[in-house]
Structure 1
Amino acid sequence: MPEVLREPTFLILTALAREPMHGYGLITEVATLSEGRLALRPGTLYGALDRLGDDGLVATDREEIVDGRLRRYYRLTDRGETVLRAETERMRLNVQAASQRLRAREQATGTRFAGGVA
């Protein structure tokens, strides 16, 4: 059975799909991707990055010193991309099924589905 990702994990992997990012950049990108619904705290983010690293889904891309502090960049691994693609497809199929059922309900009851999804 494919791995089902929790929303924070899905959004972290999604943020890294475009380019390597450092911690603060990830916190900001996850907030943007979730339209402000999800605000990661640094401790939560770095705990998730450690777990994702242990699972082989993300890896350290590079490190640099900025204003005397270490800034570590993370990247999506090939395995991380595979997991993200599988989860994206699983979610797409679920949205498609729900949208079809809601459209059928609209037709049967005369109510209007306000979702606009799929």
Structure 2
Amino acid sequence: MREPTFWTLVSLSGGRRHGYALIREVRDASDGRVELKVATLYAVLERLQREGLVAADGDEAVDGRLRRYFRITELGEQAVAAELERMETAARLARIRLGLRSATAQ
């Protein structure tokens, strides 16, 4: 799973969000490593909708602008959990190979 997808799903796991809130939250959650542009975000969201990982969750007019909201689906939550497991397994293996102790074992 690519980082923009991962952080988008993680951000949506906190509840429904509109596009600009997602852009801010992804940037903050990734410590600035992922800076989504509007077009990129909506391309990610459209792909995730096709894959059943997110769903549209209504529109709202705010200050004359339409906000499109999205939410994570159960399948999306499962995908994030699987990615976290993959990342944790990779980190454990890397620590072993590098001879590093895990943070919890220190």
Q: TM-score, normalised by structure 2?
A: 0.91
1:89 equivalent in alignment to 2:85 = yes
Pick from 96, 101, 117 the counterpart of residue 97 of structure 2. 101
Structure 2: stretches of 5+ with no match in the other structure:
none
1:13 equivalent in alignment to 2:4 = no
Task: Give per-residue Cα distances to partners, 1:1-40, cap 9 Å, x unaligned.
Answer: xxxx111101100111111110001000110111011110
Structure 1: stretches of 5+ with no match in the other structure:
105-112
Give the 4+ runs in structure 1 shifted more than 2 A: none
CA shift, 1:101, in A, is: 1.6
Q: Partners in 1 of 2:5 and 2:80 — Cα distance?
A: 10
* Percentage of pairs with the same residue: 49
> CA contact under 8 A between 1:95 and 1:117: conserved in structure 2?
no
Pick from 44, 51, 54 the counterpart of residue 48 of structure 1. 44
Equivalences for residues 56-75 of structure 1 within 5 A: 56-75=52-71
Q: Partners in 2 of 1:15 and 1:58 — Cα distance?
A: 11
Task: Give per-residue Cα distances to partners, 1:48-97, cap 9 Å, x unaligned.
Answer: 10010011000011211101111111100011011111111011100111
Q: Partners in 2 of 1:103 and 1:67 — Cα distance?
A: 55
- Alignment correspondent of 1:31: 27
Q: TM-score, normalised by structure 1?
A: 0.82
Bigger Rg over Cα: 1
Q: Partners in 2 of 1:37 and 1:84 — Cα distance?
A: 18
